[in-house]
């Protein structure tokens, strides 16, 4: 009895703990062939059929998200090719072990960097909201880069998604922050994310008042003029029938 062709181009993709298995029929696969998918852990002894994947024909896709419930467990997957007219002809292909915590694709946290007082506040958030609790238990490393002449950079460790406050920064300077996942599991270290930048607040000096004393040529002119200036908010009336027109010079940051 000739065996059924084995499935080919088997591909298990996983992103944020959502797992999907795809494959294609092997060359010469007869019409009517269908497939069954089962999983087993590295400590198990029996294959467990995957719900919804016991008579797969088109498309050749099986959702393994519920079949891999334990994130640090190693799973093996089998794909069996069957044909109702030839019940004895079964071809089984075993997919290599898959451990969700190590093999799923995880995007890096998203960062928001904003001035807060004289410091900068870094607020991480998960790339997908349903994994907030998971991301909140990861360890991270922040890289802080400055736009000074030396392009200095520093690093800071963080163990959650809590706000990080960057202190003792130079005023009026741009800082860029990027993040990576660090030292949690084997092979889980990542590259740094794209930097997010913000300027620290500049220090200002008090403005300087400039006042010019104006004498009124006539009482009527003075009253008229004073009324206009009073309602425009730039005059302070003196008790000696004169006024001061005042303006404030702009605040300028320290150089």
| 36 located within any domain | yes
Domain boundary among 50, 80, 103: 103
253 located within any domain: no
Is residue 132 assigned to a domain? yes
* Contacts (Cβ under 8 Å, ≥6 apart) of 255: none
Residues paired with residue 177 on neighbouring β-strands, in sequence order: 144, 196
CA dihedral 243, 208, 206, 204 (to 10 degrees): 140
> Is 154 among the domain residues?
yes
Residues 125, 150, single domain; the answer is: yes
**Res 38: pLDDT:** 96
What is the domain range of residue 61? Answer: 8-103
CA pair distance 211, 179, nearest whole angstrom:
53
Helix H segments across the chain?
A: 100-103, 132-135, 219-232
15 and 44 fall within a common domain: yes
Q: What is the pLDDT of residue 32?
A: 92
Split into its structural domains, the chain has a count of: 3
- Would you state the pLDDT for residue 115? 95
Query: Are 118 and 174 found together in one domain?
Result: yes
> Where does a domain end: 53, 79, 103?
103
Kindly state whether residue 96 falls inside one of the protein's structural domains: yes
* pLDDT score recorded for residue 185: 58
CATH number, domain of 148, equals 2.60.40.10
- pLDDT for position 199: 94
User: Is residue 204 one of the residues assigned to a domain?
Assistant: no
Same structural domain, 20 and 85: yes
Residues 31 and 70 in one domain: yes
Tell me, yes or no, whether 15 and 98 share the same domain: yes
Report the chain (255 residues): mean pLDDT per 10 consecutive residues. 86 96 94 95 94 96 97 95 78 88 93 95 96 93 86 89 94 94 66 94 55 43 51 47 40 40
Q: Quick count: other Cβ atoms within 10 Å of Cβ 245?
A: 14
One domain for residues 32 and 86: yes
DSSP characters over 60-108: -EEE-TTT---TT--EEEEEEEE-TT-TT--EEEEEEEE-HHHHSB-PP
């Amino acid at each position: 009895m000739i065996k059924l062709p084995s499935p080919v181009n088997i591909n298990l993709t996983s992103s944020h703990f959502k797992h999907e298995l795809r494959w294609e029929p092997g060359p010469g696969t007869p019409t009517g062939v269908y497939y069954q998918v089962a999983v087993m852990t590295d400590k198990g002894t029996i294959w467990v059929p995957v719900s919804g994947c016991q008579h797969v024909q088109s498309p050749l896709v099986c959702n393994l998200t519920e079949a891999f419930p334990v994130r640090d467990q190693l799973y093996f997957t089998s794909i069996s090719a069957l044909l109702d007219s030839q019940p004895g002809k079964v071809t089984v292909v075993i997919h290599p072990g898959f451990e969700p915590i190590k093999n799923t694709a995880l995007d890096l946290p998203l960062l928001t960097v904003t001035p807060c007082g004289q410091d900068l506040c870094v607020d991480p958030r998960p790339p997908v909201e349903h994994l907030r609790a998971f991301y909140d238990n990861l360890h991270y490393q922040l890289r802080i880069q400055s736009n000074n002449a030396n392009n200095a950079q520093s690093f800071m460790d963080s163990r959650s998604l809590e706000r990080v406050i960057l202190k003792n920064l130079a005023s009026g300077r741009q800082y860029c922050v990027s993040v990576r996942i660090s030292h949690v599991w084997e092979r889980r270290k990542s590259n740094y994310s794209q930097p997010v930048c913000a300027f620290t607040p500049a220090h200002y000096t008090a403005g300087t008042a400039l006042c010019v004393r104006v004498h009124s040529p006539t009482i009527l002119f003075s009253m008229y003029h004073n009324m206009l200036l009073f309602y425009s908010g730039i005059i302070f009336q003196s008790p000696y029938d004169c006024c001061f027109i005042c303006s404030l010079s702009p605040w300028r940051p320290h150089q």
